[in-house]
Structure 1
Amino acid sequence: MPASVTRRPGTANAVVLGLAAMLGAGVFGVWGPAAAAAGVWLPVAVVVAGIVALCVAAAGSDIARAHPEGCAVGGSELLPAGLTRLANLAYLVGRAAVAGTAATVFGSYVLPSRPVLAAVGLVVVVTGLAVAGVTWTLRSAWALVGGVGVVLFVAVLVGLAGVGGSPADVSAAAQAVVPVGPASAGAPGLLTAAGLLFFTFVGFSRLFPLATELPEPRRVIGLTLGVALLVHLAVAAALLCGLGVDDVATAAAPLAALVDAGGAPALGVLVRVGAAVACGSALLAVLAGGSRTAAMMAQRGELPRVLGTPGRRGGLWRADLMGGAAAVVVVVALGPVGALTVASCALLVHYALVAMAAVLLPASARSWPTSIFATGAVLCVLLALLLPVRGLAVTVVVLVVLWVLTTVNVRRRARADR
């Protein structure tokens, strides 16, 4: 989430910026597919996702410190140009799918009778704000974390005080509603859920631009992910206690269903408002991050150069429009589970390459052990391969097509510049 601050951020401010990016659409909307895959092992899947996030956040932080002017994988200095291009394309596809997921979660909470209409409407409104140059400030991040924190605290209290369904295995009906990957039980199902839950932690990338400004980036990353992990564990426990696995797996808006089951309609309104604000802010941040990457690729000749041309006010409004259009396509074509799966898969591919690049950093540029980076890369690949098959196939096809097109574009421009 971009922060309009000119002074050096302290530890508390950096942690809040990271949490503001992580406590968004994921904590409100990822639980259905994850519960369908992991069953009663949902909290363990949360821990696995948090561990993977820590590994790749460490990698991204060290790369940002060593190459503050480059992309997330340190430009072409660490990885070959083709892999760097793939990493950036995976990031763009992942951000578009994240935007679509945030919009679908918004629709599920705000207008469950017409979720697609509400989702598209949110994308249009937020894209307009992005084009107008609206961004999030540090003060906004504090307000967002405080507000969403209160909403989640209330939902957790209601869930832990409830006597919802028993934690039985996922029923066949639940599996029909929420398509999952190789299995819905045991280690494969747990890892499938962890891959989906990785989506909820990807806001850690907000800390990368601060890596060169913070005196103790390792401490900030550890604190931010530690707090986020505890919050997600509390929400997972509350959902299992208050609703049970079957109801969580089939709920389009699980936290709203949780407080509704607790007989607190007023709190249901509070949760829906919190979800709406969190999804809207997440969408605005995602569009901003995607437009910067698109502009960088346009300057390298990989995407149309017009995407890297700033407008009269200096904003990348063309890239913002492209991001909004891509989010609408995701909403309409993939639906909630498909958007979530593609988002998780594309970002796992991206961060697998980030971790690979970090392994290649010289020893003097690393503040974390190389084994952490290697572990992150392997786990990212493993979790991506165990995601729902349809979402995995869509991601692979889209990335291959985009990689071929951008590679051809680069070579064509290179010949034209000779």
Structure 2
Amino acid sequence: MTTSRGAGHQALSRRLGLTDAVGIGLASMLGAGVFVVFAPAAARAGSLLLLAVVLAGALAVVNATSTARLAIRYPRAGGAYVYGRERLGMPWGHLAGWAFISGKIASCAAMALTIGVHLLPGWSKAVAILVVLVVLALNLQGIERPARVARAITLAVLVVVLTFVVVLLMSPPVTADAPPPTPPGSGGWWGVAQAAGFMFFAFAGYARVATLGEEVVEPRRTIPRAVTICLGVVLGLYVLITVALGRTLGAGWVAAREAPLAEAAEISAWPWLGPMLRIAAVLAAGGALLALTLGVSRTVLAMARDRRLPPVLARLEGPHRVPRRAEIVVAGFVIVMIVLVDLRGVIGFSSFCVLVYYAIANASAWTLDDGWLGRAVAAVGFIGCLLVAVLLPWESVLAGAVVLAIGAFIGWVRHTTRE
């Protein structure tokens, strides 16, 4: 069985097949993004929202190609932390791991807050904290239960959202005193780039398959197939949603909403779809939270194995041999972020960190000896990730840059003192 560096490390069990991997990937992608990201993206891109969705999807495809190549070579827990460590050196691996953990803890907070907003808006933070504790209890029972739950949730969400799209296109709702079709100040290449950065938040879940590489059966076949299926399904769904919202209500209406899908359904020909979509949002965000916490805890595990984080976090415990301490620490930081931040701000911060993470993954893929095409894809991914990251709202860029600078400093100092 494949293990991480060092013969003394405990190996995770390979229990995930293709169906499980696709379920986890889709659950990560069809989380808070599909229900809340369209509003801030529409506020930036305006009538060019579809272009932003396609741009974010194209960037995700390029990143997925590089990630899949690396995951086949290094089918171990940790994702770009492992790739950067093996291909670029430990300091870059440390930065990738720090970016992933920081960005995805923010994503976990966004998922939990989405549940709170849809369930009980007045008590959204309290609900979010409770949800994180429930997810932690599930994860501590082992990966099999979260995988099954994620698969069931994803199927239900797909059915409800597709029904919503069909109803919206067939019977466009009529609104009174609707906002202008295009939000003021939106559009242009800058607005499209910023919107693509927000939309990338809703695409990034495919990487959960790679970060679970040590637990996937036949990773050389399973990982590329699972990533391809996830991206194809989600890109098609997001395009359909964008077309339906844009043609029937307009970008201005979407940008002014907190929960655009549920609110659009409530004024559609089938208003009972509104509550159904709110339930779907809760289920989807919950499924994404299950998958995300698994991915973050596995990156913490990989970094702890290399003593880049406290080694105690690398311990596997219980009958299912899961990294319980890593999962508890991750849940604790998610709760802290829930208390301190709001939903839209945390999405921008998460997008910046994750785009930097993928830039390092693409730089790692550049070093693989896979021919000129592989290098060209990696180069496009690297440049695209950095450009979209720096064009995000300045608050997100500043906060992300400070957090990553701290991580980089720690990584370089530890690398220098250990050499």
Give the TM-score band, short-chain normalised: 0.7 to 0.9
Matched, 1:168 2:178: no
1:369 aligns with: 374
CA distance, structure 2, for counterparts of residue 79 and residue 97 of structure 1: 26
1:271 aligns with 2:277: yes
- Cα-Cα RMSD: 2.7
Structure-2 residue corresponding to 1:144 = 153
Alignment of 1:224-373 (within 5 A): 224-262=230-268, 264-313=270-319, 314-363=321-370, 369-373=374-378
Cα offset, 1:36, TM superposition: 0.5
Q: In structure 1, what is the equivalent of residue 206 of structure 2? A: 204
CA distance in structure 2 between the partners assigned to 1:341 and 1:108 by the alignment: 18
Mapped pair 1:63 → 2:89: no
Structure 1: state its 5+ residue gaps: 172-182
Specify the code of the residue in structure 2 equivalent to 1:169. T
Given the alignment of the two structures, is residue 18 of structure 1 paired with residue 25 of structure 2, yes or no? yes
Aligned counterparts of 1:106 and 1:114: Cα–Cα separation in 2: 11
- Report if the CA contact (8 A) 2:359-2:385 is conserved: yes
Letter in 2 for 1:116: K
CA deviation map 1:154-190 (0-9, x unaligned): 221232222455762214xxxxxxxxxxx63200100
Structure 2 residue aligned with 1:403: 408
Match of 1:392 in 2: 397
Q: Is the 8 A contact 2:43 2:252 kept in 1?
A: yes
Q: 8 Å contact 1:92–1:293 — kept in the other structure?
A: yes
Change (3 A) 1:21 1:7: closer
Residues 229 and 343 (structure 1), Cα distance of their counterparts in 2 relative to 1, 3 Å cut: same
Secondary structure of 1:162's match?
Answer: coil
Give, as a single letter, the amino acid of the residue that structure 1 aligns with 2:375: T
Correspondent of 1:119 among 106, 110, 128: 128
Determine the C-alpha separation between the residues in 2 that align with 1:100 and 1:387. 19
1:78 correspondence with 2:91: no
Give the secondary structure class of the aligned counterpart of 1:168. coil
Q: Which is worse superposed, 147-156 or 347-356? A: 147-156
Conserved in 2, the CA contact under 8 Å of 1:65 and 1:211? no
Provide closer, same or farther for how the CA distance between residues 221 and 69 of structure 1 changes in structure 2, counting only shifts above 3 A. Answer: closer
User: Is the alpha carbon distance of 1:66 and 1:378 closer, same or farther for their aligned partners in structure 2, counting shifts above 3 Å?
Assistant: same
Cα deviation, residue 124, structure 1: 2.5
Deviation at 1:116, TM superposition (A): 2.2
| 1:261-280 C-alpha deviation (Å, 9 max, x unpaired) | 21644222211111111111
Q: Percent identity?
A: 32
- Matched residue type, 2:325: R
Aligned to 2:189: 187
Cα deviation for residue 384 of structure 1 reads: 0.3
Q: Which residue of 2 aligns with 1:102?
A: 111
The SS at the match of 2:396 is helix
Q: Cα offset for 1:388?
A: 1.1
In the TM superposition, residue 321 of structure 1 has moved relative to its aligned partner by 1.8
> Could you tell me how far 1:219 is from its partner in structure 2?
5.7
Structure 2: which 5+ residue stretches go unaligned?
A: 1-11
Q: TM-score, normalised by structure 2?
A: 0.86
Distance in 2 of aligned mates of 1:275 and 1:405: 38
How far residue 402 of structure 1 moved from its aligned partner, in angstroms, is 2.7
The 3-state SS of whatever aligns with 2:272 is helix
CA 1:24–1:322: 2 relative to 1, 3 Å:
same
CA contact (8 A) 2:27 2:153 kept: yes
Letter in 1 for 2:326: A
CA displacement at 1:390 relative to structure 2: 0.6
Structure 1 contact 298–304 (Cα < 8 Å) conserved: yes
Give, as a single letter, the amino acid of the residue that structure 2 aligns with 1:88.
Answer: G
Are the aligned partners of 2:208 and 2:292 in contact in 1 as well (CA < 8 Å)? no
Larger deviation: 246-255 or 309-318? 309-318
In 2 relative to 1, CA 69–139 (structure 1 residues): closer, same or farther, beyond 3 Å? closer
User: Which residue of 2 is the match for residue 383 of structure 1?
Assistant: 388
TM superposition shift of 1:389 = 0.8
Q: Offset at 1:17?
A: 4.7
Match status 1:49 vs 2:56? yes
Partner Cα separation in structure 2 for residue 311 and residue 15 of structure 1? 26
Q: Deviations over 1:175-209 (max 9, x none)?
A: xxxxxxxx632001001000111111112113433
Alpha-carbon spacing, 1:386–1:250, altered in 2? closer, same or farther (3 Å): same
Distance 1:167 1:14, change over 3 A: farther
Deviation at 1:13, TM superposition (A): 6.5
- Aligned CA distance change for structure 1 residues 325 and 184 (closer, same or farther; 3 Å): farther
Letter in 2 for 1:195: G
1:64 and 1:211 in contact (8 A); partners too? no
Counterparts of 1:33 and 1:7, CA distance in 2: 35
Deviation digits for residues 131-161 of structure 1 (CA, Å, limit 9, x no counterpart)? 3446546544442232011110122123222
